Amino acid sequence: MTRLAPRFLFLGLVLWSVPGAKLRADGVPRNECFPVEQLDPKLRPQFEELLLKMLDSEALYTIVGGIKPVSSSFWWTRFSVDSPDLSRLDEMRKIVPVLRCGDAFQAGVLVFAAVHDGKRHAHAWVAYRPALRRTITAHLAFFSTFGISPESHPIEVVEKMEHAPTADRLRASGYLFGYPDHAVDFFVDADLDGSKSTDKKLVPRDFLTVPTVASESHKFVWAVPKGHQPNDEDRAIMTQAEPILAEYRRRRDLYIGAGKPGVVALVRDWFDDGYGRCTPENAQIRSNIQPPSVTSVIDVVRVTPRPPAPLSPAVCAPTPPVFSYPQGGRRLRLTLKQRRWGRRNAIPIEQIHP
């Protein structure tokens, strides 16, 4: 019968018990994160160009950090409704499914309902699912009237809100694009006021913006009343975005350019947990977004096991450890109770089921 050494059982128990020592099993293999290898080789350059354009624009804050639940317009096209040529549209429909890393993202192509000068427009969009669920939950009183819940598929959300009445469509866009609530309220009200006025003039406004690599302004931007000063909601977005952009700039210099690894390697390495598993949450941590406060309590973990009593023939499960904080300090000490590992604690390995 195969036996497991007690020290390995003890180590596993310690790792399971200590906050912050969780063994990460989430994420996907590297080749399943933005799996460009699955594309037709002819489309790969277009995908890499598209992904770089996204990261250089406001879509960075959807792919990393989830500040913007949804981003769009990093690709667009238009076609005549009288004699539609959908070749570019169909080509992009082959590319956007590769904008994924596990189930964290959903991407698609939206064809707009409105027709201008005989042409209909379409653009690509990407959603970060956890952030989308959060914003729907936060504004459930609004979204639920359209049958949308946090469990709704992102494609359903985007398509349904595109065909909503104008005021509701604008409000939904504001929420989905990650704008502060006060800015969404102002934008919707200003649009209604402008449409009612006889001269159709825009309501006076200022703009607040979050910089990107592509532009210091006019990318991630929202309208505010004239003379508005940034408030806590505005500053919270800017504070979250700043380290993400700084980290992306640093990585971009290392990965983008002749003879360098390229944009797919950039994202995979950024999302990699160090063990070949990729998830967007790793990039958030490395962008200095604050981790959960519980993990910051632990400074040092001391393990002081006592020698066990002679083992019975069966494999034994160790006594649960005891945690304590030494008086006058914040360091966490881990000790074992003084208890013999007798047969009454013994569990044969064959009886431990996965």
Sequence-ordered list of residues with C-beta below 8 angstroms from that of 196, at least 6 positions apart, any chain? none
Q: Token digits for 282?
A: 């790793």
CA–CA separation, 246 and 213 (whole Å): 10
**DSSP 8-state class, residue 272:** B
Sequence-ordered list of residues with C-beta below 8 angstroms from that of 277, at least 6 positions apart, any chain? 24, 25, 26, 27, 28, 29, 30
62 and 153 housed in the same domain = yes
Residue 161 has pLDDT above 50, yes or no: yes
Give the pLDDT mean for 226-239. Answer: 96
CA–CA separation, 247 and 267 (whole Å): 12
Residue 269 has pLDDT above 90, yes or no: yes
Q: How many CB atoms lie within 10 A of CB 309?
A: 11
Sequence-ordered list of residues with C-beta below 8 angstroms from that of 248, at least 6 positions apart, any chain? 55, 60, 64, 213, 287
**Higher pLDDT residue, 209 or 19?**
209
Q: How many CB atoms lie within 10 A of CB 277?
A: 19
Residue numbers of the domain that contains 12: 6-16+309-351
C-alpha angle with apex 24: 18 to 27, nearest 5 degrees? 160
128 and 204 housed in the same domain = yes
- Tens digit of pLDDT for each residue in 121-133? 999 999 999 999 9
Full-model pTM: 0.74
Least confident range from 101-105, 260-264, 321-325, 346-350: namely: 346-350
| Residue 309, φ and ψ in degrees, nearest 5 | -70, 165
- Tens digit of pLDDT for each residue in 280-301? 999 965 544 443 333 333 333 3
Q: Let me know if residue 166 belongs to a domain.
A: yes
SS3 74: strand
* Residue 202 pLDDT grade (very low, low, confident, very high; cuts 50, 70, 90): confident
- H/E segment holding residue 322: strand 322-324
Q: Let me know if residue 227 belongs to a domain.
A: yes
205 and 60 housed in the same domain = yes
**DSSP 8-state class, residue 20:** T
Count of domains in the chain? 2
Q: Let me know if residue 277 belongs to a domain.
A: no
Least confident range from 168-172, 210-214, 286-290: namely: 286-290
